[in-house]
Amino acid sequence: MRSSTSLRTRLALLIALLIVMMSWIFGAFISKDFAARLRGSAGFELAELAHQMGDRLDRDMSARASVLKVMAELDVLSQPDAREQQQRIIDQLQNGMGEVAWLGLLSPDGTVRVASQRILEGVNIAQRPVYIQGKEGMFIGDVHEAVLLASLLPNPSGEPMKFVDISLPIEGADGQLLGVLAAHLSWGWAAEVSRSLLNPAQQRRSVEFFVLSAEGTVLLGPEEWVGESLAPLLEAKDEASGINRRVVEWGGPQAGSYLTGIARADGHADYPGLNWTVIARQPLALADEPAKELQRDIVIVGSALAVVFAFVGWLASRRLTRSLNQIARAADKLADGKPAEIPVIKGIRELEILSSSIRHLVAALGQQENKLGEMSEMALTDRLTGLANRAGFESYLRMHDRNSPMALLFLDLDGFKQVNDQLGHAAGDELLKLVAERLRSKVREGDLLVRLGGDEFVMVLNIRPEELEIIARQIAARTLSALGTPMLIAGEETKVGCSIGGAFWPADGQTTEEVLAKADRALYKAKGSGKHQAVFTTDV
């Protein structure tokens, strides 16, 4: 009796220990791998959010400047005796654009002639940059405080009011200065933009935006950070791409480790931008929380299974130990990372349940790892075209043999903006998909196609050294021919073409960044020489 009881107890403990060990080993391995991939994906998302924020701010500023430019061309604003009409136009524009805190029409000597809500009318502001710069041409000033104007405008929050200036001259047909149209935009719209970009999940995970001036001073961010300098972060930023993501140890308020994405706001259309930098950050502990939750879930499920299987083992008799040992040995191999399959036990219901449950556990863990692999693949692929994205390009270059030559063809579509403007963004997206299909037909197995963003593509060609330049030029010529053929977009025949800049590794640089930069300069040369042609570094 003692022997039978001892055997069952030991069998139950063995099974429980085996399952718990498998849970810990698989949990630790999968969570570690998942955490690394999650950080990469989350970092890329933060960098993309920072880029979207900067692009949105630039687009908004460009749109406001365009509205004022159109307004400045109205004949009625240049007529001194049309004050009532001018007042009505200014009031209507301010009412329609909530972010315009103040809008005024200045006389040639800098006196406010007409203003929204009649604020500052009759006051001479000839010494202010908004007049001094505005009478010379379009002026867009950086964020600043306006003490005089702030005291005259409603301020329910009580916080210091900040503004962005836009001004431009009103000129007669002979170029004579007839006045200056000036506007103060409330900086509060930038905070609204940041809130609109964050979805509820990102808000729960404490994602924060910082907008920095060209000198690195915080213009927008958590209240305790406004006015502080983050210049060291800008100095460490990747100047080649203008975008960066990494773990940063933050000091100051709420010091700690943060997953940080950084991007430049480099203007939009004719608006050159104010050299702002946008930072999106998230506490590293929150970024890693899904991986920790996964590890906890694996341990909990494994522990629960250990209890169930221990009870089944306790019920088993001595003649079952041989089958159980087979299962244990297979599980040990799996825990050691060796290929093995849990045996299927037939004939005894308890053993059938045991073997089946462990097989399901291994299958579920394998499926989880496959899902992680799929998530990693998605992070490296451009969603629109299915080509590699910038992250995939960087991953490919990291694994590339430094001694193996290759050619880089930097492509930029000619006329893509006109298609977007005339047919809409949906047509532009369809055009990019067709371009990707045609590019696929021009590369060989082992080559890489990349969409860097917008209408920029890169072809990475792995060619034998003795044929490197010849084949690269042949592929460039075929690509020009393929993209020069009209495409049917939105029911209309559309022709865009492209320009190509070519460079060679390692002849054109010791790093891939240098080679890509030279390819970019060759592309610029191709654009400047009439477009729809290929220029290589050996041609320059």
270 is catalytic: no
Q: Give start and end residues of each alpha helix (H) in 336-487.
A: 349-379, 390-399, 416-423, 425-440, 468-484
User: What are residue 387's phi and psi, to 5 degrees?
Assistant: -80, 170
Task: Name the catalytic one among 455, 508, 520, 539.
Answer: 455
Number of Cβ atoms within 10 Å of the Cβ of 331: 21
Beta bridge partners of 449: 459
| DSSP annotation of 465 | G
Whole-number Å distance between alpha carbons of 501 and 194: 37
What are the DSSP calls for 100-125, one per residue? Answer: EEEEEEE-TTSBEEEEGGGTTTT-B-
- Cα–Cα distance, 304 to 361 (Å, whole number): 12
CA angle 206, 222, 228 (to 5 degrees): 130
Strand ranges (DSSP E) for 133-242? 139-140, 144-145, 162-171, 177-186, 208-212, 218-220
The CA-atom distances, in angstroms, between 123 and each of 105, 464, 516 are 11, 74, 55
Q: How far apart are CA 478 and CA 487, in angstroms?
A: 16
Q: Which amino acid is at 487?
A: M
Active site residues: 455
